[in-house]
Amino acid sequence: MGAAMDKFESEHSQPISWHRVLQAVRRYGPLARVDLGSILELSPATISSITGDLLREGYIREVADSDLHGVESGRGRGRPKVLIELAPDAACMIAVKLSINRIEVARGDFAGGVGPVTSRSLNTLELSGAALIAALGDLIAAEIAAIPASVGRIIGIGIAVQGLIHKTETLVWSPALSLRNFNIAAPLAARFGRPVIAMNDADCIALAIQQRGDLQPVENLAVVMLGTGVGMGLILGGKLHAASSGAGAEFGHTKYQIDGPLCHCGRRGCIESFVGDYALYRDARSMLDLPNTDALHPSEEQMQALVDLAESGHNVAVSLFKQAGRALGYGLSNLIALISPDLILITGSGVRGYRQMEPEMRRALDEALVDTLLAQTEIRPYPWDEDLTLRGIVLQVLEVGT
């Protein structure tokens, strides 16, 4: 994160305390100056001076408490408190999601909102580096051309990708691409004259879920993403865990069974090789009469058909989800032993099979861990009703860029 931060810092040389104030307002706002002071451990005088500057520059705006809580403000607590919130149009950024055979682009606003999404289908696995950059660049250019004059400067561009990303710019490996060790950020930064960061998609989703407001805040949160692959985003100490290398949270490639089945990654016995869509469908096809498919990427319909078979009690399908649940449980037991998250959320499209996996997952956890360790962590499914990837990358660009 350090390098990306430096890029943004040199971009606009405002005092560094602004950064902390804006982050806090984005996260906890709207809020009163006095609460802002407690959160940031800054004196009322310092807060007053910084918020004065930010108001003048148009980054924040004042809103009366009564605008928000009309009823409560009448309770005779004196004049309504003035709260501070971000001005959504103070600045913007372009958010991109690159996944297998699809690119999605949207504009993010200064308060963390995501605008309408434009998407394009293409065969990502066949793309050369130049073709990928051209495809991304054209969509980004169109999005930039559509920004109204009333919106402030473009802070930067964020790209969410499944896979391993080094120092927020190099795609070491992604299942969506045949390219390896490809610097996706530099050519786009050169074309648009803006900082560009790339980020793992599961990290984006973890960040978005953490800040979505429908969860009790927890210090340590793991979001496990089930789907074609098995990914994870980790929030530790309230912040996205960013390995200095950009790697990390490769939950899908922790081991369930040494010398087990071959995984997409080329190694054996990874959790993903038991729990990933491709693994379930590969095994299912060797025993069940299922529609033919690109075995690497079974479709949503095909996977749902497999879940339906299990739900109806078909032995082979049931046993596949059982085995997946057992592998998932042992994988989670290692995660709990190492980090003891307060909460583990299981989500992603693969959560469709959660009910079929859960009993065996719980059994494996009981087998693997002493009760006192197990009791520290709550595990539950999180509905996959909306793709939060773009929202997450918007939050991250704002986090490092303002």
Give contact residues for its own copies (rule: CB under 8 A).
Answer: 15-17, 19-20, 41-43, 46, 164, 172-173, 218-220, 232, 234, 236-237, 239, 241-245, 247-251, 253-258, 265-268, 330, 333-335, 337-342, 367-370, 372-373, 376-377
Query: Closer CB to its own copies, residue 200 or residue 228?
Result: 200
Q: Which is nearer to its own copies, 298 or 331 (CB)?
A: 331
Q: Cα–Cα distance between 268 and 253 in angstroms, integer?
A: 9
Tokens of 364: 């494996």
CB closer to its own copies, 154 vs 398: 398
Q: Please, what is the minimum distance in Å from the beta carbon of residue 390 to its own copies? A: 25
Sheet holding 239-240, edge to edge: 239-240, 230-236, 221-226, 343-347, 378-381
**Could you tell me the smallest distance in angstroms from the CB atom of residue 320 to its own copies?**
18
Name the residue nearer to its own copies (CB basis): 135 or 172. 172
CB of 341 to its own copies, least distance (A): 7
Q: Residue 174 or 211: which CB sits closer to its own copies?
A: 174
Min dist. Cβ of residue 140 to its own copies (A): 27
CB of 326 to its own copies, least distance (A): 9
- Tell me whether residue 44 or residue 74 sits nearer to its own copies (CB atom): 44
Residue in the structure block whose two tokens are 């580096």: 129
Q: For the chain, how many residues are written?
A: 402
Cα–Cα dist 373/77, whole Å: 46
Residues 89 and 65: beta-carbon distance below 8 Å: no
Nearest approach, Cβ of 54 to its own copies (angstroms)?
A: 15
Q: Any idea what the Cα angle at residue 239 is, between residues 234 and 244, rounded to 5°?
A: 75
Q: Closest approach of Cβ 273 to its own copies, in Å?
A: 13
Rounded CA-CA distance 31/44 in Å is 14
Structure tokens at 253: 């490639």
DSSP string spanning 241-281? ---TTS----GGGSBSSTT-SBPTTSSBSBTHHHHSHHHHH
| First vs last C-alpha separation in the chain | 14
Contacts of 44 (CB under 8 A, 6+ apart): 33, 34, 37
Residue closer to its own copies (CB basis): 41 or 214 = 41
